[in-house]
Amino acid sequence: MNVSSIIQALVIFDECETREQVTAELERLLKSYRFDFYGVLRQPKPSEDPMGLVLAGRWPEGWPEVYIAKKYVLIDPTIRYLGTSRSGFRWRDTIAAFRGDPYRKRMERMMIDARSFALEDGYIFPVHGRSGLLGNMTVGGRVVDLSPVEMAMFDAVAKKVFWRFVELDGHAEALNRAASVDTMLTKREMEVLSHLADGMTSNEISKILKISNHTVDWYMNGIQDKLKAKNRQHVVALAFRLGLVS
């Protein structure tokens, strides 16, 4: 157990003034634990490419290309499990959670392909905000056994590193604001907002959601009030700026 090195890193992360310094300290910590590869990522929206949301990372040469080409992101058991987990977990433990899944064989194939790239095992640590999952830190390579205490400490590292990158990129305020607004909007309001951002009219939205035009306008007014927008065009502009839609 090397908990002292984790505690030291948590202190140093706060003192880092650049992304390069945060990355260097994170890689120093991971090296001390014999993790060869890692990634710190923002949580993608449905239409976004997850590989374009990497805040920092190092992967085996050729693996990202294989991962994308084979569309493993659609069935990756670690990513699917991430949506339900509140704390860190081990890659290899996720397969058991999808024993009866129709994509089980593809999941197993992905794991075999990963091992051929020296990704034998690893861990993922989710980062949550008030509105849900914001991102994660994944580490792996050779087999490393972490104790429960170390798992908890790495959860803290994931949160610290994620927010330091976001702060240094100047996105912390927007992310916090988006999380706050996202919490205020209901699921139906988010659906209406998404269709509005796609350029649909109230009539088109009402047909898709099978509700009346009057109800659509009622939701629109609620969204406008919550975003403090001047009009519908302003609603869409704010939604994109806050990352509520993409």
Query: Tens digit of pLDDT for each residue in 169-181?
Result: 876 555 555 555 5
Going by pLDDT thresholds of 50, 70 and 90, the confidence category of residue 235 is confident
**3-state SS track over 63-123:** HHHHHHHCCHHHCCHHHHHHCCCCCCEEHHHCHHHHCCCCCHHHHHHHHHHHHHCCCCEEE
pTM given for the model: 0.70
Identical topology for domains 3-170 and 185-241: no
Residue 196 has pLDDT above 80, yes or no: yes
Going by pLDDT thresholds of 50, 70 and 90, the confidence category of residue 13 is very high
What are 56-71's pLDDT values in tens digits?
A: 999 999 999 999 999 9
- The pLDDT of residue 42 is 86
Class at the top of the CATH hierarchy for domain 185-241:
mainly alpha
Rg (C-alpha) for the chain, rounded Å, is 20
Q: How many CB atoms lie within 10 A of CB 230?
A: 11
**Domain-wise residue ranges, the chain:** 3-170, 185-241
pLDDT, the chain, mean: 87
CATH placement of domain 3-170 = 3.30.450.80
CA distances to 15, 60, 110 from 120, in Å: 33, 12, 11
What are 198-212's pLDDT values in tens digits?
A: 889 999 999 999 999
Residue 166 has pLDDT above 90, yes or no: no
